[in-house]
Amino acid sequence: MMNLISNLPLLAQSGGGGGWGWGEIAIFIGIPGAILISILFYLVNRYRRCPSNRILVVYGKTGGTATARCIHGGGALVYPIIQDYMYMSLEPMTIEIDLTSALSKKNIRVNVPSTFTIAIATDPNIMQNAAERMLGLAERDIAAQARDVILGQMRLVIATLTIEEINQDREKFLDLVNKFCDAELNKLGLGVINVNIRDITDESGYIEALGKKAAAEAINQAKIEVAEAERSGQIGEASAHRERDVQVATQHAHAEAGRKQAERDQRVAVAKLEAEGVRGEAEARREQEVAVAEQAALTAEGRKQAEMAQRVKVATLEAEAIKGENESKAAIAAYEATLDERQAEAKRRGEVALAEAQRDVLIAEKEREMARLEKEVITQEMIERQQIEIAADAEAERIRRIAQGEADGVLAKYKAEAEGVKAVLDAKAIGYTNLMKAAGGNMNLVPTLLMVEKMPELVREQVKAIQNLKIDKVTVWDSGASGADGNGSTANFLRGLIGSLPQIHELAEQAGVELPGVLGKVKEDKQKDA
């Protein structure tokens, strides 16, 4: 049957040359066969193949609980009406992540620009997530969702690491970023292919300071090694020079001793020959003996001087040799002391690092405990404090409004009083002006008239000075006799009482006013004048 179907186009093409046409073919296979062939053609046309760089998603009535059927490679038959299909690309997407001001573990903000290469994963479960969440989305929309997820996970990873761990242990940092980002992206149906961290900087310059510190330590270490090498070279050179000088001095001493020995032997031989030459001469025997004795003395003296010089030279060389040995021992001791010092410094650094690590652990425990307290206690206290502040603000506003109303009332009262006083002063000013016009320009008369107007008040004030005196009765025993001034005791008593009152004229003078004489004047005591 399949051979017949495959040969139908050839049979139809050969129909014009005396072969079979489509009509003959239809008659040959019959109507049921034609229907069957049409169905087969339709089914073949509905079969969809999936390329290797795509995922075929068949959705609709797929059977079971799955909302879609994902196929990577191969193909599937898409039933009409109840099913449909779409393709999802597996091509990688590159996303630029410009992460800035991310807070690290030690509260230092860092900038971590990076490039992520992601794509839809081919794992069956992850492909199912992609079909459910990203089917039909454009690449830019998928990249936007992935960028948000990556930014959040990178901030989370950076918050768990210190600057040193981020900057120095890049492998650990990348592993954590891959782990966290891949786990979250899988929920969308994506997977991380590659992460490239371009550079890590911070706003405070801490990373740059770490680099400078490392460079300075490397430079210092190199300087120390160079100095140690130079010192070793100088010590070796000094040792070689010392050995050379010792050997040269020894050879010089041996040569000098040999020369002195030869000279001595020569002198001895000459003396012997001279002694033998004059031995036959009897007259010259004594002189010859004296000459021989002198030569012998000179020879002994020269020998002693040579021995002394040799001993001095040998002692000098031995002293220099001992000095060189002592300097070598001192250099060795200094090197050993430096080695001990560096070992102690390394031990101290290790102990300091251990103490800092323990301190970081304690600080982390403290921060965790503070976070727990902040969550359980401080938050509730802040809520209560805000409630108290709101109530206090309301009470303060109520008190302020009451005080403002009272202040407005007092201000209105004082304004009314001020207007009344102003009206009184204006009326007095008009009255004073009329008074000056009535005085005809006599300025001395105006104060007098004003004082006359105030006389009742002045007298009233004078009366107040004695009105509170509780005197039930006054009994005056007057003998009738007059005093030296011609007045009786009763008159003197009244006069003294009146004299104790403030004088009107004095009060007026203190005010700068001279009262007229018609108002009277208290007579001064004659005795006082005397």
Domain range annotation of the chain: 2-86, 90-204, 211-398, 442-464+488-518
Looking at the DSSP bridge assignments, the partners of residue 85 are 58
Task: Give the whole-angstrom CA distance, residue 255 versus residue 249.
Answer: 10
CATH architecture, range 90-204:
2-Layer Sandwich (3.30)
DSSP labels, 335-382 = HHHHHHHHHHHHHHHHHHHHHHHHHHHHHHHHHHHHHHHIIIIIHHHH
- What pLDDT sits at residue 116? 92
- What pLDDT sits at residue 472? 61
- What pLDDT sits at residue 17? 47
Residue 130: Cβ-neighbour burial (10 angstroms; 0-12, 13-18, 19+): buried
- What pLDDT sits at residue 529? 46
pTM for the whole structure: 0.37
- What pLDDT sits at residue 181? 92
- What pLDDT sits at residue 427? 83
Of the candidates 119, 99, 118, 122, the residue with the CA atom closest to the CA atom of residue 173: 99
Q: Per-block average pLDDT, block size 10, for the chain (530 residues)?
A: 47 47 57 75 77 86 80 82 86 89 83 90 88 87 91 90 81 88 90 87 70 71 78 80 82 81 81 71 74 81 83 82 79 78 82 83 84 76 83 87 87 86 82 74 68 71 67 59 60 59 61 57 50
